[in-house]
Structure 1
Amino acid sequence: MEIDPPNSVPEGEQTVIIKDDDLFKAADNGDVSYFKSLSQPQLLRSLTLRNEDGRSLLHVAVSSGRTEVVKILSAFDHSVSGINSSDEEGWAPLHSAASSGNAEIVKILLERGADVNLKNDGGRTALHYAASKGWVKVAEVGCTPLHRAASTGKSELCELLIEEGADIDAVDRAGQTPIMNAVICYNKEVALLLIRHGADVDVEDKEGYTVLGRASDEFRPILIDAAKAMFEG
């Protein structure tokens, strides 16, 4: 498959046929000049291309950390269908940016309309990857310091933040509270600490999940026992 030139080419200009492989190489290598040489119709057509792994040019540019290419491609994706598209494993470009800790690209994608609630085939959102890997600058998008501390298992910091008046049930862009972050990242000590401080285990995030709904089968009974102990005490 090739991207055809526009139907009408101004007199005196040379018609160039763009090959898919060349576009993917340019996205991977960060060849900004290559994309700047494309006409608007060619750029729009390029947004629909997918490689053998179901990845778009934007996926490839994001994974390779090619910020300028990401800016160009995302700027033309007015419907944000490409920005929120998934590859064969359910990864959207935002997942890749968050997982690699590229805060600048995460910010660009969010400004262009990337959905922070999108899950991959493993049931994880981009912020889950950022938080579990300790990418603070990425995970802090829409989160409070307590969210970040809970995600990374820093129980002493959580204790300090709570003592200093942090909102224990603050919600992030996904409608998730610090205890949800702790549960998702399987930080048992932090989750139990937050329950002892009165964290609401019945609150629902934007997808309708409660804390117990986000917990694994192994983790759920521990949380139930802790919540019962607080209620009965």
Structure 2
Amino acid sequence: MILFLFIILLPAKYFRVTHIHKNTLIDKTNQKRRDCFFVKVQIKVKSMEMKMELDSEKREENTQEKDLFKAAEEGDSSIFESLSPQSLSKSLSLRNEDARSLLHVAASSGHSKVVKILLSCDESAEVINSGDEEGWAPLHSAASIGNLDIVEALLNKGADVNIKNNGGRTALHYAASKGRMNIAEILISHNAKINLKDKVGCTPLHRAASTGNSELCEYLIEEGADVDAVDRAGQTPLMNAVVCYNKEVALLLIRHGADVDVEDKEGYTVLGRAADDFRAILIDAAKTMLE
């Protein structure tokens, strides 16, 4: 009872202090919450700013890459000459949407000066035999377009002369299929294997026989090409020449001992594949060989 009376008789100021103290605690709590909120906002804003900077840098980098690929395609050697040794080395690792390097693009476009600038980097050894999405190496492209200067530059820098693409073809297959005698000569001088078969079983001589280039066919034969090599369809270079109506090549192959009696997987012989007017010529050539 005495305690109760004591509390009742306490001055009002004691209660006001308690109330103020409580409000102060609430204010401090709210301030902490506001501080935490602002910190979170600042962190998020900073994160967004950093992301925007990275995106900007990435866009700039992509633009620079596109400029380099355009320069490689158009043969603008000044772009590559302006790069520092470090930037030039780094550029060799770039790839476009077809997984082609700058060396691929320059080689396939026939720009020997750009190719030689890129090959001047020690790092070129790491990409010189790299394949694109179809397994083409720069040497395949250079041989296919017939650029002797680029083919020679690639070989001198260590390009694998017998590397195959996804179709199993070597640079010599492409030189033969395009009838490029000078390319075939330099490839063979660098130890190109003359009887390698692609995925359909064709050798370079099969390809050359189809083009009708008798000079190239004779050169391949002299270098050891198998005149009776059989592809997956059971056809020989002679059959290819006959089907493509390349009389001069067909007669050349017969003179070098090509078998006229071999049958392909459909049961046709060389004569069976020949047109009527061609058949008589082949028979006469075969008879001459037997005399």
* TM score, norm. by length of structure 2: 0.51
Structure 2 CA distance for partners of 1:86 and 1:141, relative to 1, 3 Å:
same
The answer to whether the aligner puts 1:196 opposite 2:283 as a matched pair is: no
Would you say the 8 A contact 2:161–2:170 is kept in 1?
yes
Distance 2:150 2:206 in 1: 24
Q: Which residue of 1 aligns with 2:118?
A: 73
Q: Which residue of 2 aligns with 1:32?
A: 77
Distance 2:73 2:220 in 1: 42
Q: How does 1:142-161 map to 2 (within 5 A)?
A: 142-143=187-188, 152-153=208-209
The answer to whether the aligner puts 1:91 opposite 2:136 as a matched pair is: yes
Displacement of 1:139 after TM fit? 1.1
The answer to whether the aligner puts 1:132 opposite 2:177 as a matched pair is: yes
Q: Which amino acid aligns with 1:102?
A: N
Would you say the 8 A contact 1:46–1:57 is kept in 2?
yes
The answer to whether the aligner puts 1:112 opposite 2:188 as a matched pair is: no
SS in 1 for 2:119: helix
Deviations 1:30-85 (A, max 9, x none): 11111011111101100000000000001111111111000000121446221111
Distance 1:99 1:73 in 2: 20
Q: Which amino acid aligns with 2:238?
A: K
SS in 2 for 1:80: helix
Distance 1:69 1:78 in 2: 15
Structure 2 CA distance for partners of 1:36 and 1:2, relative to 1, 3 Å:
farther
Identical-pair percentage: 49
Would you say the 8 A contact 2:68–2:102 is kept in 1?
yes
CA RMSD of aligned residues (A): 4.1
SS in 2 for 1:196: coil
Deviations 1:162-208 (A, max 9, x none): xxxx99674xxxxxx3127976795226696487389xxxxxxxxxx
Would you say the 8 A contact 1:182–1:188 is kept in 2?
no
Distance 2:94 2:220 in 1: 45
Distance 2:162 2:87 in 1: 30
Would you say the 8 A contact 1:27–1:60 is kept in 2?
yes
Distance 1:56 1:42 in 2: 15
SS in 1 for 2:125: coil
Distance 1:54 1:157 in 2: 36
Distance 1:36 1:120 in 2: 31
Q: Which amino acid aligns with 1:152?
A: A
* TM score, norm. by length of structure 1: 0.62
Q: Which residue of 2 aligns with 1:20?
A: 65
Q: Which residue of 2 aligns with 1:8?
A: none
Deviations 1:96-130 (A, max 9, x none): 11111111111111111111111111110011101
Would you say the 8 A contact 1:95–1:126 is kept in 2?
yes
* Structure of larger gyration radius: 2
Distance 1:23 1:94 in 2: 20
Distance 2:154 2:228 in 1: 22
Structure 2 CA distance for partners of 1:132 and 1:186, relative to 1, 3 Å:
farther
- Bigger mean CA offset, 147-156 vs 21-30: 147-156
SS in 1 for 2:163: coil
Structure 2 CA distance for partners of 1:156 and 1:78, relative to 1, 3 Å:
closer
Would you say the 8 A contact 1:24–1:57 is kept in 2?
yes
Would you say the 8 A contact 1:24–1:60 is kept in 2?
yes
Give the helix-richer structure, 1 or 2: 2
The answer to whether the aligner puts 1:178 opposite 2:225 as a matched pair is: yes
Distance 1:155 1:67 in 2: 27
Q: Which residue of 1 aligns with 2:167?
A: 122
Unaligned runs of at least 5 residues, structure 1? 5-16, 171-176, 199-216, 224-233
Q: What is the count of residue pairs matched by the alignment?
A: 181
